DNA sequence: TCTGATCGCGCG
DNA sequence: AAAGCGCGCGATCAGA
């Protein structure tokens, strides 16, 4: 059952659809529900386990959650539309072509903002913000229904073409056993589930003990200072630095002042980054590095942050699903995806509860093995420690070397040790290395590449396009540099994007299993955090075993959904802890 | 005095 | 020890 929701002048319009997006013959008339009745009506209809179709999950689901209504599944028209508009799997469809027309003015691929005409005023008042992406389905019930139907039509066609259209597609996504339509359908379901999970996690929040956080701050920085003042420890370090660098008014937060002071004292650095400062042995370096570390803690996660972001023992950041082109999530406010190790002790389970912190070990290299079907590297990936396996096969047991080489292949390293190790890696694993090399060449040539489930990289930037008609040698050199940069991006995209595909499936599978546990009445386990390849579940002590099994089963399910039955392991490491700093 | 760009650093 | 990818954010800086 498919139920479409649309904002209507006098409430919410609600219509039952067929799978194809036509009005359900048995019940073709829309129904209008007042704002006050919506949560109750939705709750009642949820018993029939519909898929809720809406413009954006963020517009509907948070308020339903506040009203105590949790839903099983949805279809997010904006997120799915964005995938379908760009995917190589649907590039031949009318849907993608229409989207391409719309995006010709897309600011992402256009000159600086200042040169563009101002955006048109919103059509429907302030009810919705402008969509983040270029797909702008209209917002009336009929427009949304038509949009859904068009998306389903495009999805159907994804399975109806030869796998490779010459000159348009990188080799990355073309396994012979692949069923593109199924994969894309899976991606759309996982993306929509992700949107629900993001809203639910924001609603729930990360359990955060303010007094533990304050204790960490006091230990590192001293007592809480007056607003705008430096904490005592930073003040003391500033005084020490001013003396050691003979600069009585130095502000160590100012890179320019700092650079001048360092140079005056014979410390010849080109930047003021920590790694470069560490090269020097001047007595001022140690307190300077200490200052930088503590100043960062104070500015990014100090008392001001605590006041702004932690309420009633929960940190409730906003997650932005689809915020990264590769399919990773982004976040807004509070730096949710950058919680520093220093303060993870403040993330603490409630009494009678545990935190289960699980992360996929060496996810990206394993994804590369599966994508490239490199059987030699798959042998190494049977090891719990993939890098150790690779080291044994091709690097004389030197794990550090193996790791640097493999990450270099995924990121496109050209210089340094990592770059030098590439030939050695390529000899041992021609398939895996060849796979990322092909993705790089596709990117350099302006082609798009595609993740396992069908998320495609953006088309070349305006900068890249302009660089193509260079004439002088200097321009050509610039063009090569721009092309190589795009090559590194597409090289990484196929791996990072497919890892994001895997993680989305892992998360969606885990959510389903945790819901099952909850409906059994055995466990009130909650997903509270997600970070690219890591999840955190907050659950009662008695539910720990069930949750751990759910996490591991979900990982296995995700592997099979993406790649079928292949001899590559995707192990997860699971830690049961009271506080986040005890994990890993 | 405001705004956008840049630097530097946190996370994967 | 750092380089190759992807992000968000705060302080400073440059320019209007």
- Is the pLDDT assigned to residue A554 strictly greater than 80? yes
Protein footprint of strand B, defined by Cβ closer than 7 Å to any strand atom: A 112, 255, 271-275, 292-293, 296, 300, 335, 337-342, 359, 496, 531-534
Tell me, what's the pLDDT at A161? 59
Q: Which nucleotides of B are covered by protein (CB under 7 A)?
A: 5, 7-12
Rounded to the nearest integer, the mean pLDDT of chain A is: 90
A531 nearest nucleotide via C1' and CA: B12
Question: Which residues 335-364 of A interface with strand C at a CB distance below 7 A?
Answer: 335, 337-338
- The distance (Å) linking the CA of A138 with the C1' of B8 is 42
Q: What is the CATH number of domain A325-361+501-582?
A: 3.30.70.370
Give the mean pLDDT of A38-67: 97
Residue nearest to nucleotide B11 (CA to C1'): A338
Give the mean pLDDT of A277-288: 93
> By 3-state DSSP, what share of chain A in percent is helix, strand and coil, each rounded to 5?
55, 10, 35
The partner residues of A33 in beta bridges, in order of sequence, read A12
Tell me, what's the pLDDT at A520? 76
Cβ of A331 less than 7 A from strand C: yes
Which tens digits make up the pLDDT trace of A95-131? 999 988 776 544 333 332 222 233 333 333 333 333 3
Pairing of strands A206-207, A314-315: antiparallel
- The distance (Å) linking the CA of A92 with the C1' of C1 is 48
Residues A285 and A278 sit within 8 Å (Cβ to Cβ): yes
Tell me, what's the pLDDT at A470? 87
- Is the pLDDT assigned to residue A165 strictly greater than 90? no
Cβ of A330 less than 7 A from strand C: yes
Given the candidates 3.40.1010, 1.10.260, 1.10.150, 1.20.950, the CATH classification of the domain at A364-495 is 1.10.150
- Is the pLDDT assigned to residue A171 strictly greater than 50? no
A326 nearest nucleotide via C1' and CA: C6
Give the mean pLDDT of A38-59: 97
Tell me, what's the pLDDT at A104? 56
Cβ of A229 less than 7 A from strand C: no
Tell me, what's the pLDDT at A216? 97
A389/A398 Cα distance (integer angstroms):
10
User: Given this structure, which CATH class describes domain A211-307?
Assistant: mainly alpha
Lowest mean pLDDT among A147-151, A348-352, A427-431, A471-475: A471-475
Which tens digits make up the pLDDT trace of A16-46? 999 999 999 999 999 999 999 999 999 999 9
- The distance (Å) linking the CA of A298 with the C1' of C4 is 30
The contacts of residue A36 (CB under 8 Å, 6+ apart) are none
Which tens digits make up the pLDDT trace of A126-151? 333 333 334 455 689 999 999 999 99
Tell me, what's the pLDDT at A103? 63
Token pair 């021609």: residue: A430
- The distance (Å) linking the CA of A206 with the C1' of B6 is 33
Residue nearest to nucleotide C12 (CA to C1'): A254
| Residue A303 banded pLDDT, cuts 50, 70, 90 | very high
Residues A540 and A522 sit within 8 Å (Cβ to Cβ): no
- The distance (Å) linking the CA of A306 with the C1' of C10 is 15
Give the mean pLDDT of A433-455: 96
Tell me, what's the pLDDT at A486? 94
| Residue A167 banded pLDDT, cuts 50, 70, 90 | very low
What secondary structure letter does DSSP report for A336?
A: G
| Residue A164 banded pLDDT, cuts 50, 70, 90 | low
Tell me, what's the pLDDT at A128? 35
The first and second tokens of residue A460, run together, are 């070349």
Tell me, what's the pLDDT at A137? 56
**How long a stretch of residues is chain A?**
584
Residues A323 and A183 sit within 8 Å (Cβ to Cβ): no
| Residue A210 banded pLDDT, cuts 50, 70, 90 | very high
- The distance (Å) linking the CA of A384 with the C1' of B12 is 20
Token pair 């949805």: residue: A74
A179-184's contacts with Cβ under 8 Å and 24+ in sequence apart are: A180/A89, A180/A454, A181/A89, A181/A155, A181/A156, A183/A89, A183/A452, A183/A453, A183/A454, A183/A562, A184/A83, A184/A84, A184/A87, A184/A89, A184/A90, A184/A155, A184/A158, A184/A453, A184/A454
Tell me, what's the pLDDT at A106? 45
Pairing of strands A73-76, A51-54: parallel
Lowest mean pLDDT among A29-33, A105-109, A209-213, A454-458: A105-109
- Provide the residue ranges of all domains of chain A, joining segments of one domain with +: 2-86+94-116+133-157, 211-307, 325-361+501-582, 364-495
Which tens digits make up the pLDDT trace of A353-399? 999 999 999 999 999 999 999 999 999 998 889 999 999 998 999 99
Residue nearest to nucleotide C11 (CA to C1'): A253
């Amino acid at each position: 059952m498919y139920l479409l929701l649309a904002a209507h002048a006098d409430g919410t319009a609600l219509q039952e659809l067929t799978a194809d997006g036509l009005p359900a013959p048995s019940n073709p008339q829309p129904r209008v529900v007042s704002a006050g009745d919506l949560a109750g009506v939705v709750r009642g209809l949820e018993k029939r386990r519909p898929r809720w179709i809406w413009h954006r999950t963020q517009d509907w689901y948070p308020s339903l959650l506040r009203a105590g209504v949790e839903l099983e599944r949805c279809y997010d028209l904006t997120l799915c539309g964005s995938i379908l508009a760009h995917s190589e799997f649907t590039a031949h469809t009318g849907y993608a072509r229409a989207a391409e027309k719309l995006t010709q003015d897309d600011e992402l691929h256009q000159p600086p903002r200042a040169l563009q005409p101002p955006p048109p005023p919103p059509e429907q008042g302030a009810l919705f913000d402008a969509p983040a992406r270029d797909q702008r389905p209209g917002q009336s019930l009929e427009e949304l229904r038509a949009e859904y139907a068009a998306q389903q039509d495009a999805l159907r066609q994804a399975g109806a073409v030869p796998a490779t259209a010459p000159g348009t597609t990188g080799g990355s996504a073309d396994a012979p056993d692949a069923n593109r339509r199924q994969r894309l359908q899976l991606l759309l379901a996982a993306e929509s589930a992700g949107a629900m999970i993001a809203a639910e996690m924001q609603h729930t929040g990360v359990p955060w003990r303010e007094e533990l956080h304050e204790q960490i701050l006091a230990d590192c920085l001293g007592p809480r200072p007056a607003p705008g003042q430096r904490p005592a420890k930073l003040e003391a370090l500033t005084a020490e630095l001013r003396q050691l660098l003979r600069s009585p008014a130095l502000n160590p937060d100012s890179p320019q002042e700092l650079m001048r002071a360092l140079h005056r004292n014979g410390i010849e650095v080109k930047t003021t980054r920590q790694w470069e400062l560490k090269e020097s042995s001047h007595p001022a370096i140690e307190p300077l590095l200490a200052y930088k570390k503590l100043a960062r803690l104070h500015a990014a996660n100090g008392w001001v942050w605590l006041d702004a972001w932690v309420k009633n023992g929960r940190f409730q950041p906003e997650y932005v699903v689809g915020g990264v082109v590769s399919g990773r999530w982004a976040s807004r406010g509070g730096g949710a995806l950058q919680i520093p190790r220093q303060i993870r002790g403040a993330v603490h389970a409630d009494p009678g509860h545990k935190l289960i912190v699980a992360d996929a070990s060496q996810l990206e290299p394993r994804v590369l093995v599966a994508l490239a079907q490199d059987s030699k590297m798959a042998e190494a990936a049977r090891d719990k420690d993939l890098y150790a396996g690779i080291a044994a096969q091709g690097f004389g047991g030197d794990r550090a070397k193996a790791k640097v080489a493999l990450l270099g292949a995924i990121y496109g390293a050209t210089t340094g040790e990592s770059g030098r190790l590439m030939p050695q890696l390529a000899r041992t694993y021609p398939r895996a290395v060849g796979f990322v090399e092909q993705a790089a060449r596709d990117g350099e040539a302006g082609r798009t590449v595609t993740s396992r489930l069908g998320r495609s990289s953006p088309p070349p930037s305006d900068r890249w396009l302009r660089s193509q008609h260079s004439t002088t040698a200097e321009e050509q050199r610039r063009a090569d540099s721009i092309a190589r940069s795009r090559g590194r991006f597409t090289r990484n995209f196929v791996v990072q994007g497919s890892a994001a595909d895997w993680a989305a499936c892992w998360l969606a599978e885990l959510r389903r299993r945790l819901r099952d546990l909850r409906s059994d009445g055995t466990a009130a386990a909650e997903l509270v955090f997600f970070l690219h390849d890591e999840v955190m579940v907050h659950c009662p002590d008695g539910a720990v075993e069930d949750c751990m099994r759910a996490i591991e089963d979900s990982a296995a399910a995700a592997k099979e959904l993406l790649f079928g039955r292949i001899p590559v392991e995707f192990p997860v490491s699971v830690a049961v802890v009271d506080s986040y700093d005890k994990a890993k």
